[in-house]
A and B are shown apart, each in its own frame.
Chain A
């Protein structure tokens, strides 16, 4: 048994027990096999996440992370503040951690194992505080073997302090020099170099859902975890990104892929999640979702932003960019546009759709006559113009014989019976027929 739920513990199941013994105590026990690969992957994911607090993160297998925080303590408000932030950040990831702080990695590891939440500050003879820890810890995170531990136990050493008091040459003679070495590393008398963890070049994270889901809200809840991991990866790389891909895996169908695009590079997971929500709301899932996968690459290095005393001057621009992203995510890119004038005589071609925010071309020559503020998609045929009063015109528009969309029309401004102003034309080629083409709104 590696671990047990509180309910199982209450029945008398103990970590370290054999499976048969545990089943004898609690026959209704549900056993889950341990998955070392998943544990390693979670630890790596957590290492990426922890890189937002310090660049020096080291994975300490099988189950620990070492953060060298001396450079970041001031920023995060001391060890207590840092621990509080780590705990708060782990909560949405669904992880729990035993955290302790000490001047050496090994001492911190031992403390976390036995006294989670304790801190030892660097002071003269701080290592005396390690003396009370049980001697078994020497085998944790160090290469002290089981036999050596049994030997120490046999000669009556129960605490680390007891071991430290043993004669050194005697220990060395019993092939226990590794014990001395471990002690020296834990006390900081010997260097304990660590290999710092490097966040991967591209982000890929997969989350298997406990049950298959068809509803948006629980899917988003699960996706939130992936996005906060992505945000931490970006923070570790001091980067932002403007697109990522969320795959929704189904049982026996190809994945549904959501392409999430933002207007400007950023690393705010809340924003990405909000865009994912709009995509999901507009989407009809073909089958229940079994797992989620999030991919991202090509992060853009973005400078950090300093806080402004008088509010954020960019907030209006940010809000505008966010609005554009949201509308595009829900309505589709085609439904969110602006219009630009085009230098062309034919009214139907004198405009084009454009991406919002692009400045309109400046050098469009003014049209020969007044143009209406509304244009109809298709000119509407008029049975007669008897009820209309022609006020101004004609303006002959004759163009386009070279590209097949030939036109010859006489445009007039007309007053409708309700005094509205219409833009009407008479078709000259072929002759006959009056049409209304726009309104002077």
Chain B
């Protein structure tokens, strides 16, 4: 590109033109993810505020919620945090211990796929939610585009959890991350962003993960623990 074109481009207001070889600078800064390494790789320095964000992973338990816990703390207090059709039960004691504001949690369990899509769109369009987390096993491109539009017009981030096989399907999401666990850390591979591709997945250490620095393999010498206290005898005879 000629030097003249470079200066002409530089003179344009930020956010108007995005050169594909560098990270886009959206007008509105993102919501800090709570992980400096991830913030540095995202356009706007955080989760986009008005977009569909796809998180692709196959199995639960790799830290997919832990990745979002920091951002769920920082959302405004007068609106809902909506979880639509999670695959398992969000376990209240753990959420409370992690500081998730449970009084703002709206847990939706719709019956059908159509109702899941409906509920997500409602949650986005109402302006009454600060973030929407949804779990979709399958979704066609048209449905995804509608969700992306709803997220865009309502300025509400939508975190959509999909199976890893969805990576092959084209998607209108502005940000697509593939999540996997590696040695007690979360490996985040940025599949799509407004910026150049990423050479290697990011490694994030999640603070809420149970301490796994030292990994003693207990299998080899499985020690049966002594009972904490002797079984109650006497008046309250135990059933056997």
Contacts and interface: CB of A to CB of B under 8 A. Distances in A.
Given A316-B78, A396-B227, A439-B60, A376 B88 contact: yes
Contacts, number: 218
Contacts of A401: 232, 236, 238-239
Interface residues of B, number: 67
Nearest to A367: B93
* Interface-centre pick from A320, A373, A374 (highest chain B CB count, 10 A): A373
B88 A374 contact: yes
A339 B64 CA distance: 19
Contact of A331 (B94, B105, B119, B129): B119
Interface in B64-81: 64-66, 76, 78-80
A411 to B, nearest CB: 11
A342 B62 CA distance: 26
A337 B107 contact: yes
Interface string A381-398: 000011011111110101
B219 interface: yes
A441 B65 contact: yes
A385 B103 contact: no
Contact of B115 (A321, A331, A374, A398): A331
B138 interface: no
Contacts of B115: 330-331
A364 B93 contact: yes
Contact of A330 (B78, B89, B104, B118): B118
Contact of B91 (A316, A330, A351, A396): A351
Interface stretch (A119-127, A167-175, A220-228, A415-423): A415-423
- Judged by DSSP, the binding face of A is mixed
B96 A364 contact: yes
B95 A339 contact: yes
Contact of B80 (A318, A320, A330): A320
Interface in B138-175: none
A211 to B, nearest CB: 30
Contact of A338 (B103, B123, B218, B219): B103
Contacts of B63: 421, 440-441
A377 B222 CA distance: 28
Contacts of A389: 215, 217-219
Contacts of A438: 88, 91
Contact of B66 (A317, A347, A441): A441
14 contacts: A330-B115, A338-B105, A339-B90, A341-B93, A350-B92, A356-B103, A372-B61, A377-B88, A392-B211, A392-B212, A398-B228, A416-B61, A422-B61, A440-B210
Interface of B: 58-66, 76, 78-80, 86-98, 102-111, 115, 118-119, 122-123, 126-129, 180-184, 209-212, 215-219, 222, 225, 227-228, 232, 236, 238-239
